[in-house]
Amino acid sequence: MAVEHESGRSGPPFTGSDPVTGLLAAVDWARTPLGPAEGWHPQLRSVVRTMISSRQQMVLFWGPERIAVYNDAYAPTIGDKHPRALGRPAEENWGELWEVLAPLLDRVHRTGTPFWAQDHPFSIERHGFLEQTYFDVSYDPVFVDAPGGGDGAVYVGGVLCLVTETTGRVLGERRMRALGRLGTLLTGLSDTERIGRVTATALADDPEDVPRALLYLLDGEQLVLAGAVHRESAPLTINLVGPDPVVEVLRTVFADGEAAWLPEPPGGGARALALPLTSLTGVGGVLVAVPNPMLDLSSGYREFLDLVAAAVSAALANAATHDAERGRIESLAELDRAKTELFANVSHELRTPLTLIAGPAEDALVDVVEPLPPAQRERVEVIRRNAARLVRMVENILDFTRIESGSLRAEPGATDLSVFTAAIADSFRPAVERAGLELRVDAPPLPREVAVDRDMWQRVVLNLLSNALKFTLTGSIEVAVADRGGRAVLTVTDTGLGIPAHELPRLFDRFHRVREPAARSREGTGIGLALAAELVHLHSGDIHAASEPGVGTTFTVTLPYGEASPGTATPARGAVAEAYLDEALGWSGGTSWVEALPRADPRATGGSRVLVVEDNADLRGFLVRLLSRHWEVAVAANGDEALTAVRRGRPDLVLTDVLMPGLDGYGLLAALRGNPSTEHIPVILLSARAGEEAAIEGLAAGADDYLSKPFSAQELVARVRSNLELARLRSHQAAWRAALVESLDDGFFMMDAAGTILEMNAACGQILGFDARGLPYPRPYPWWPVSEVDPRAAQRLEDALDQALAGGGGRFEVPARRDTGRRVWLAVSVNEVPPLGAGPKLFVGTVRDVTSDRVAAERDAALATFAAALADATDVGEVLAAGSSGLGGAWSTRPAVAVAWSRGSEGSGTRGDRPEVVADADGRGWDDLPAHARSALDAARRTRTPQVVPEPGADRRSLGIAARLDAGGEETAVWLELDPPQRVSDVDRYLFGSLCAQLGLALTRARSFDEQRTVAVTLQRSILGPTDLPEGFAVRYEPALEPLEVGGDWYDVVRLDEHRVGVVVGDCVGRGLRAASVMGQLRSACRALLQQAIDPAQVLTALDDFAELLPGATCTTVFCAIVDDQAGTLVYSSAGHLPGLVAGRGGRTSKLDGASSVPLAVRGTAARPQATVTLEDGCTVLLYTDGLVERRGEVIDDGIERAVRALVEAGDAPTLDEALHRVITGLAPEHGHDDDVAALLYRHTAGRM
C-alpha cells in the first residue's frame, strides 16, 4: 500500500543533536517508499519525533515494506548494520532472524494487537558472527487515519518496537546456576576420578555455555582423561613429551599456570581454551573448554570459565588435603604401634639388669653375717630405693603397652574394699606426716565385697595419694570409701594447690603433666593418673576429678561391686607400696644422713663455697656427700630456697637441677644474672635432657656449664673445680680492673643497652653527687634535670643518651643537676663494648665536670654580645635595653633592671628624688620591684660600689647585685636578679662593675648623640627642599645614614613666574652633617640665582665662583633646569650630573644629556652649555642623584637603563607621588640604598601652571 503524502507540511521531523538524528536527516527519503520527510503523514511524523527524543531503545517498521526508522539508543542493538539499516526494508538487515521477526510484525500489522515478551531469544549477527541474545520486547501498532474512511476509520501504518536488551542478565543468571550446581556436586568429594566425572556431568547440563569440555589430570609425564562432555575422538591419555603444537601449549599452561588457547582441542574441532587446574603442589590438571561460537568471549564469559576451573581446582586441592591427612593419620598410627612395641621390648629388656641391681642391694642390706658399715649402708639404700622406683616406672610402661595391645586383664577377687583401702592409706601415712600434713581415712564397711584386682587397686590408690601429697603443701588429705547408688565409691580429697579449669579435660591423658611450679616435686613421667584411669576402666569403673585452684582437688573413683569366685584374687605386692612410699619420703625432707656429713676443711677447699640446688633428696644427698670432701657445701631444695641462701651468704658457685618445683633452674639462673651483685656467680646446670641442643639452650640462657644426667662423680668434681678456678681468675681480673678504674681522675661508669648505670667509680659519684651506693641507676637518673623546671636541659640529656645507645657511643656536653640542686655541665664520652658471646651489650663512659669552662665560655660569648649590642645601639633606650639583656646573659639569668633618678627642680633642695624604671623586660614600676632590689639600687646609687644581696639562710648564695652607672645627666643604677640564686665571687663583682662601666660609657655616648641629633635634625629640616610644590611635581629624599634626615643630596623647586618653574637636583661630595651643611649653602645660592631670571647655564657659572670659596663644595654635581608649561619647553644645563630621563606616551624615552659639563669648582676654559627640549603633553621627567642607580660592581649605565624601565612601568600609576614611589622602591637594592637619594618627578601638562 502506497503512503499518501500531504502537502503543506513544514520541514522534516528530525530535530535533535544526537548522531542518529543527523543520519536520519541525511537519508534521501524521496527515494524510499515513505517519500520526502516533509510530506509524511502526521502520525508518522509524531511517532518519529517522539522516538528521536526518547532514551528508550526504539525502532519503527513503517508500511508494508517495513521501512526501518530507529533512534540513537537503538543503534547498538544492530551493531555493524548501523547506519545502513536506516530507511531500508527490515528484511534486508534483519534477515538472519526474519523467520522469527516477520510473523510477529505481520500479526501486529494484521490484527492491530500489541505483542509483549520478556527475555525473548534472538540470534543476531551484529558483530561479524551470529550472536545469542535476549530482549524484553513490546511491538505496538501505530494507527493512521484512513483516507476517505469517515470519522474513526483507521488502519495500522506501522509497528513501533520498544526493546531492552537483557542478554547480560540472562547469561549471568544461567552461569550462576551452573556454578552453583557444580559446587554442590563437588562438595565433599575426595576421589580425583570421581571429581572428573562429576564435573563432566555438571557441565553437560549447561550446553549453551560449555558445549564441549575435556578434563585431564596429570599423572607423571602424561595427562589422563578424567571426565568429558562430548568426548568424540579425544584421546584417553596425552604424552606431554613431544613437538606436537597442542602439547607445546599444554606444557606452557603447566609451566606458567596461566590459561592459553589451543589451536584445536585434543581429537580435533574448533579452537579451545586450556585452563590450569591447581592443587596443593601446583598445576595438577587442565580443563579444555570449547566455547559457544554464538557467545561473545568477553570478560564475563571468560570469568565464568575461570570460575569453573577454580571450583574444580578447589575440589582437587581438598582431595589432595584429604589424602595427605589420611596418610598422616596412618603414619601416626604406625608410629604409635612402633612406639608401643619399643616400650614393651625395652621394658622387658630392663627387667634383668634391674633385678641384678635391686637383688644384690637388697641382699646386702639384710646380710647379718657380714653387715654393711653405716656409710656403705646408706649408699646401698639409695641404690635400692631408686632401683625400686625404676622398677615401678618399667611396670607402668609395660602395663600401658599391655593395655594398648589388649593383653592386660584384671584378675578380680572378692575384697573387703574398705579394709583394703584403709590399709593402703596407712602404709602411706609416714610420707604424709613427714610432710606436715594430716591424713584422714573414712572407710566404713560396705554392704558387700567388691571384685577388684588387688594389685591394680593398690596402684590406683597409691597413685592418687602420691599425687595429692605432691600438690598439697599445707592442710590435709582425706581418703573415703562409701556406697552410693549400689556402687562402691572411693574419694581422695586434698587441700592443695588445685588444678586450673583448662587442665581438667586433659588430666588423664598419657604423658600430660599439669604445670604447677609450687608443687613439692617436678619429677614424674606424666603416666601415673593416666594409668590409674586405665586400671579403673578395666574394672568397668569411672574416675573423674573436681578442683578449685587454691582450695583443693577431689578424685572420685566409682566401681561396680561385681562378682568373683573366692580364691581368685591376686595379692597386692608389698614392693609396689614400698616404692611409692620411698619416693614420697624423698619429697618430704629427704634423708637424715645429708645433714650429718662432715664439713670440708676450709684450708683444703681454698675457702670456696658451693650451693647445691636439687629437689630429689637422694640426688641432693649424693651431690653433697661428693662435693663436701672438696669444698664447703650449702643445700637448697628449689630455686626459691636457693635465692634465700644466696642472700644469706654469697656462694662461689651454684650447682642446680633444671626441673624443680617452684622456681626452676632456668628461673634461678635468670634471677642470679638479673642482679648485679650475683650476676657473676658461676652456675652449672644439671638436667635429664641430654644432647647438643639441650646444652646449647642452657649455655645460651647464661649458664657457665651444662651437665646431663647420668654423669660420673669424677666428671662432676672436675667441672666444679674448673669453674671455680675460672671464677677465681675472673675475680682477680675484676679486682685489678676496679683498682684501675678507681685510680682515674675522671668519672667512669658502665651501663647496659637500656641506659641503666650498672657501675661507677668514686670520682663519678663525686662529680654527679650520687655515688655507687645507689646502683643500679635506671633512666631517668636522679641527676637528670627536672623536665617541668628545665625541659630543654632534660630533653638535651635524653637526646644525647638515645644517640649514644643507638649509635654505639659518642661525645656529648650535657647539663645535669647535682644532689644540692645546682646545675653542672658534664663532658661525657661513651663507647660500646663488644659483647662476649651471647652476653648483653654494654657501654662504658667517662665524665668530666666542665661547668667552669662552660660558664666562662658562655660569659665570654655574653660579653662579646654585650659589647656588640652596645656598639649597635644608637639612642639611650637601645643602650639600656641592650645593656640589661647583656648583663642577664652573662650570668644566665633574666635581663637586668635599670632605674634613673630625675634631678629635683631648682630651689627644691632635693636631688634625684624621683626614681623611675627605665628598662625592664617585665614592664614593672619602682614600687613593683622587690624591697631588697630597691634597697640595693638606692645603696649603689649613693655609695658608687656594687651591692650584693645575700639569700637569707643560704650558704654563700646571693639574690642579686646592683651597681651605679656613671653616665652623666640623670643618676642611673642597674639591678641584676640571680634566678636561681648563685654564689657571687670577687671575679663576679669585678666583672659586673666593668660591664656597668662599659654600659655607663655607652649611655654617655648615646645621650651626647641624642643631643647632637636633635640639633642636626633641627638644622636639616631648615635646609630641606620645599614641600609645598607646584602642581605636576613630586619629590622624595632618602638619606643613607640613620637617624639623619638629610645629607649631601638635594632637590629644589623654585617658581619663577606664572608659567616658569626652576628645578634643581644636586649631589655634594661626602655624607652626614658636613655634606648637609655644604648642600644647604649651595641650595640657597642656586635658588637666589634662579630668582634673578638668568638661564640655567648662567646659574651654574655663577655657582662655580661661589663653590670655589666654600670648603667641601668642590666636585659637586648639579642639574639645573627651567620648565615653561606654556611654551612646552625645558631648558637645562648639567654640571657633571647624571642625565635626566623623559618618558613619553607609547613607551618612548629619551635622556637629557645634551648640555653636560664638569662639576662645580672644577675650572675649564669653555663656557657651560645649555640645551632646550620640547615636552609633549603627558610626558614624565625624572631628575635624580647617583644613589638611585649606582650599584657596586657594575657600570652606572646599567643602573640608568633600569631607571628608564622603571619610569616607563610607573606610567600607569594613579598619582605622581605613587609613580615616584614605584620608581624608587623598584630600584632599591635588597638591603637598601648605600648612598643618599634625591629624586624629582615632573609630569607635563600644557598651560597647567
Q: What is the pLDDT of residues 853-881, one digit of tens each?
A: 887 777 777 677 777 777 777 777 788 88
Residue 1067: name the closest of 1017, 1133, 1021, 1112 by CA. 1112
Residue 915 pairs in a beta bridge with: 901
Domain match, 615 and 633 both: yes
Domain match, 433 and 560 both:
yes
Chosen domain end from 1014, 1049, 1083: 1014
Q: Where are the alpha helices (DSSP H) in 837-875?
A: 851-872
Domain shared by 652 and 771, yes or no: no
Better-scored residue on pLDDT, 407 or 248: 248
For the chain, the 3-state helix, strand and coil shares in percent, each to the nearest 5, are 40, 25, 35
Query: What does the alpha-carbon distance between residue 500 and residue 1070 come to, in Å, rounded to a whole number?
Result: 102
Residues 518 and 643 in one domain: no
- Unique residue bearing C-alpha cell 605636576: 1032
Residue 846 within a domain: no
Residue at 762 is within a domain: yes
Provide the grid cell at 861: 660569648
Instruction: Indicate whether 483 belongs to any domain.
Output: yes
Give the domain extent around 151: 19-165
CB contact set of 246 (below 8 Å; sequence gap of 6+): 238, 262, 263, 264, 265, 266
Same domain flag for 526 and 447? yes
Note the pLDDT of residue 1184. Answer: 95
Q: Is residue 2 part of a domain?
A: no
288 or 572, higher pLDDT: 288
Alpha-carbon gap, residue 794 to 783, rounded angstroms: 10
pLDDT at 1054: 93
Q: Is the pLDDT of residue 1120 over 90?
A: yes
Q: Is 940 exposed, middle or buried (0-12, 13-18, 19+ CB in 10 A)?
A: buried
> In the listed set 362, 391, 407, which residue is the last one of a domain according to the structure?
407
DSSP string covering 1013-1075, please?
HHHHHHHHHHHSPPSSPPTTEEEEEE-SSSS-S--SEEEEEEE-SSSEEEEEEEE-SS-HHHH
List C-alpha distances in Å: 1209 to 1035, 1151, 1183: 18, 17, 17
Cell numbers representing residue 444 in the block: 566404713
In terms of domains, do 287 and 432 share one?
Answer: no
Angstrom distance (rounded) from CA 363 to CA 356: 11
- The chain-wide mean pLDDT, for the chain, equals 83
pLDDT score at 683: 94
Q: Which residues contact 508 (CB under 8 A, 6 or more apart)?
A: 529, 530, 532, 533, 543
Q: How many CA atoms within 13 Å lie on the side-chain side of 957?
A: 15
> For the chain, how many structural domains are there in total?
7
Q: How confident is the model at residue 477 (pLDDT cuts 50, 70, 90)?
A: very high
CATH number, domain of 455, equals 3.30.565.10
The CATH number that applies at residue 263 is 3.30.450.40
Query: Within a domain: residue 1105?
Result: yes
604 — pLDDT class (breaks 50, 70, 90):
very low
* Residue 1178: CATH number of its domain: 3.60.40.10
| Residue 740 or 1034, more confident | 1034
- Grid cell 596412618 is found at 330
866 with 780, same domain: the answer is no
User: Are 213 and 305 members of one domain?
Assistant: yes
Residues 546 and 449 in one domain: yes
Is position 173 within any domain? no
Place of cell 654494654: 842
pLDDT classification of 421: cutoffs 50, 70, 90: very high
- How confident is the model over 617-633, as pLDDT tens digits? 888 888 998 899 899 99
Question: For residue 822, what is the domain's CATH number?
Answer: 3.30.450.20
Length of the chain: 1249
Asked if pLDDT for residue 1239 goes beyond 90, the answer is: yes
The CATH number of the domain holding residue 598 is: 3.40.50.2300
Other C-beta atoms lying within 10 Å of the C-beta of residue 1018: 9
> Any bridge partners for residue 833, and if so which?
842
Same domain, 778 and 732: no
Q: What is the pTM of this model?
A: 0.41
Domain-embedded: residue 147: yes
Query: Which of these, 972, 947, 974, lies nearest to 959 by C-alpha position?
Result: 947
Pick from 685, 720, 740: which residue ends a domain?
740
Q: How far is CA 741 from CA 50, 834, 845, 1148, in A?
A: 105, 19, 11, 88
Shared-domain flag, residues 858 and 791: no
Is the pLDDT score of 532 beyond 50? yes
Answer yes or no: is pLDDT of 567 > 60: no
Note whether residue 1202 is domain-resident: yes
Is the pLDDT at 1216 greater than 80, yes or no?
A: yes
Residues 457 and 553 in one domain: yes
pLDDT interval class at 480 (50, 70, 90): very high
- pLDDT tens sequence across 159-207: 999 999 998 899 889 989 988 998 888 888 888 888 889 898 988 888 8
